[in-house]
Every structure is written in C-alpha cells, then in structure tokens.
Amino acid sequence: MRRAAWLLVFVAACGAGHYATGVYEDDEVRYRITPPPGEGWRPVEVERHNDLAWVNDRLGAALQVNGSCNPSLDIPLRALTNHLLIGFTERAIDAQELIALDGREALRTQVRAKLDGVPRQLELVVLKKDGCVYDFALVARPGAPFRQAQTAFRAVLDHFGTLP
C-alpha cells in the first residue's frame, strides 16, 4: 500500500491514454517512449490517470512519465519541479542542472527527501515543449537501489521524443 501511495504523488489526473509499440497517446500529447530496461520493472496502471508508470519492487523504485498541455500557462521549470515535490518532507537538493531533451532545455533535479518519514532519493526532469509540459520522475530507496534505478530512468529519457 505504501508503494502505491508514493507512486500516486507523481501522477497527475487526466483523461485515459493508450500505449502501444513504443508510442503513448492521449487527447493532449503523443510521444515515443520505451519501458525501463532491466529486470524487475513492471507497468502499473493508475485508474483515471494518464501516461505511464513502472515499479521495481526489488529496488523499491517507481518511474513515471506524464505530459499535459495548456498553452496559456508559462510556468518556470523550477516551479514545475517544486510541484512534483509536494508531499515530500526534509527535502535536500543534491544537484540541479539544465540538460538537452528532445531538442529543448529541460531541468534535471536530484533530491533526497522523506515521504511519510521514509527516506527516498529522487531524480526529476521537467521539459516544456510546444505548449505542453512533460515530467519524468524516479523515486527509489537511497543509495545503490537508486543508482541502479537511475540507469533505467536515464535510458527511458534517452528514448523519449514528442510526436506530431
């Protein structure tokens, strides 16, 4: 139950989407994405929520991808990142940097925090492109489990691309 609770922190409510042959599509976004590589990752469906999530019980990790569009909003990447941290306490940012993702600038943030008193390590990436916001989140047990999950997370990012 606790695993599901911290996964839900990251998934934003929206209409149902469809994922097939490496492409996710809903009424707002369409993008190319591959599941996390490596053993133990399994997809998780969160009712009434869009986009994609996977968990790895061995690593105590969850990985999510979400996209939503509202061209009238122009929220800074840092503010969007802070929104992903709602519910986490004792937050400490270890690193924050701009990276290139899908031909745009994205903000990558590494954080140590607690959720319900349980230590977690996170990597968050937020991208704005063509009036849409795409966020990627990895949450895992700190230390070696996080580093192992981070390899899968970065592989997912490497294969991401928006589609017309």
> Which residue stretches of the chain have pLDDT < 50?
1-15
CATH number at residue 100: 3.40.1000.10
Domain region containing 46 = 2-162
Per-residue pLDDT reduced to its tens digit, 98-132: 999 999 999 999 999 999 999 999 999 999 999 99
How many other C-beta atoms are found inside a 10 Å radius of the C-beta of residue 94?
11
Q: Which among 136, 6, 133, 156 has a CA at the least distance from the CA of 77? A: 133
Q: CB burial class (10 A; 0-12, 13-18, 19+) of residue 130? A: exposed
pTM tops 0.75: yes
Give residue 10's pLDDT. Answer: 38
Give residue 71's pLDDT. Answer: 84
What Å distances lie between residue 96 and 71, 99, 109, 116, 157, CA to CA?
Answer: 25, 10, 4, 24, 16
Q: 137: alpha, beta or left, given left = phi > 0 and alpha = psi -120 to 50?
A: beta
Give residue 159's pLDDT. Answer: 96
